[in-house]
Amino acid sequence: MKTVYTCFDTDVIHEGHLELIRQASAVGELTVGALSDRALMSCGGFSTLGEKERALMYSGLEGVGRLCIQDDIFYGGEIERYRPDVVIHAEGWRIPAVREQALRALEHYGGTLMEIPRLSSESIRRAEGAMRDRLSMPEFRRRRLRAQLKALPIVRVIEAHNGLTGLIAEKTSVAAAEGLRQFDAMWISSLCDSAARGKPDIALVDMTARAGTVTEITEVTTKPVILDCDNGGAPEHLPYNIRTLERLGVSAVMIEDKEGAKKNSLFGVRHGQTQADREDFCRKIAAGKEAQLTEDFMLIARVESLILEKGMEDALERAQSYVRAGADGIMIHSRRKDPGEILDFCKRFRERCPDTPLVAVPSSYNGVTEEQLSACGVNMVIYANQLIRSAFPAMQQTAEEILRFHRAKESEERLMPISDIITLIDTI
């Protein structure tokens, strides 16, 4: 009897999977690997079920013999362990490097790869759509960020301010050593949410409008959302806002320890920004935490001491106080070009609070790599404004060229083809 191996990461079994199992079990005894949650998340995926539940679901299917958890997107480890005669997979691998690695591992002992045509039908399309829809539901989206923080060396977050930028955050991927590199979550920046409406970042866009942005983005994406909520507003409003955000499926709110008229941190001290009293801010954090209803939701406290030139010790002491007040994470911000003070803070914070998630926003100190941040204890990196900053000059250039040439032909080469823009958005 031959042995056959395949790996599934699906939450929804459709006729394509059943056909693959039918063909596999006709060849020999089938082992199915359920891709682990960690491996799934490392390539930007997520499961509404969890690896054990998925494995249980696969084990109930006729034709499935043995089950295992495959803890790597690459098949090499399992191929070495089980030495299957055949690995079976549908044609059109999502990550070509995974196929190549499986082929190399099989070559060692003369195993073969069997690729079967990928079925496509209305019911498969509906099943895949159902899986996406489930992932977009508040209960699954909300909890995804905490799961990522546990599973990933660093959670990679990019700014989104409308449905379209949400789609870029959701879908952009590049081939990488780990298989596929994607963004893990989205940051709804006060700066970009304001700028996209042609408004300054002075807390002018109110929570009702911000919640509209969240809805626009969550309607077309599945990844977790972190909302930049300035200083959290009036202490008596924060509990209401937290309930609203939880209901919308937001995973985390970030509030900064400033008071008075809102100014963007990157202006620095010249613009008269004032840091909140430490105890007042601790009370705000505690009130926010008290209001939350789900275990999943996170409140991240942002320390502005380095922005406001109050010194490293003040930053560290405030961060510790905020953790004691109940903050689920700390964001430390800096407007220096050199990452030195941030890396110094991170290392020293880690000695005092080994487990608290730590967030960095390398807008000014953009030369630092994710690896350097992670080595100093950072768990989440936020690319807070790069999408809108790349869109604005591109649009402005096109507008200027049309004015200059009295037509659009000269800009055409730089533009996305019309055939692409009309098919960019999936229909339900």
Catalytic amino acids?
Answer: 201
420-428 long-range contacts, CB within 8 A, separation 24+: 424/167, 425/167, 425/220, 428/129
**Which helix H or strand E contains 208, and what residues bound it?**
helix 207-218
* Contact criterion met (CB below 8 Å) for 13 and 32: no
Residues of span 222-241 touching ligand SPV by CB under 6 A: 228
Residue 285 touches which of Mg ion, ligand SPV, none (Cβ within 5-8 Å per kind): none
H-helix or E-strand containing 6? strand 2-8
Q: Which does 160 bind (CB under 5 to 8 A by kind): ligand SPV, Mg ion, none?
A: none
The site string for Mg ion over 401-420 (x = CB under 5 A, - otherwise) reads --------------------
Q: What is the rounded distance in angstroms from the CA atom of residue 404 to the CA atom of residue 189?
A: 34
Contact code string over 266-305 relative to ligand SPV, x by CB under 6 A: x---------------------------------------
Question: What's the chain's length in residues?
Answer: 428
First to last CA, the chain: 44
Binding of residue 304 to Mg ion (CB under 5 A): no
In angstroms, what is the minimal distance from the CB of 322 to Mg ion?
17
Q: Which is nearer to ligand SPV, 189 or 292 (CB)?
A: 189
Looking at residue 222, its amino acid is T
The answer to the question of residue 190 lying near Mg ion (CB under 5 A) is yes
Select 48 or 251, whichever has its Cβ closest to ligand SPV.
Answer: 251
- Taking a C-beta distance cutoff of 8 angstroms, is the pair 227, 210 a contact? yes
HSE-up (13 A, CA, CB side) for residue 370: 13
State which residue, 169 or 191, has the beta carbon closest to ligand SPV: 191
Binding range to ligand SPV, per CB under 6 A, among 23-31, 120-128, 189-197, 366-374: 189-197
Element (H, E) at 185: strand 185-188
Residue entry with tokens 């159902």: 130
Contact range with ligand SPV by CB under 6 A, out of 21-29, 35-43, 259-267, 285-293: 259-267
**Span interacting with Mg ion, options 13-21, 26-34, 122-130, 182-190, rule CB under 5 A:** 182-190
Provide the binding-site residues for ligand SPV, judged by CB under 6 A. 189-191, 201, 228, 264-266, 361, 363, 384-385
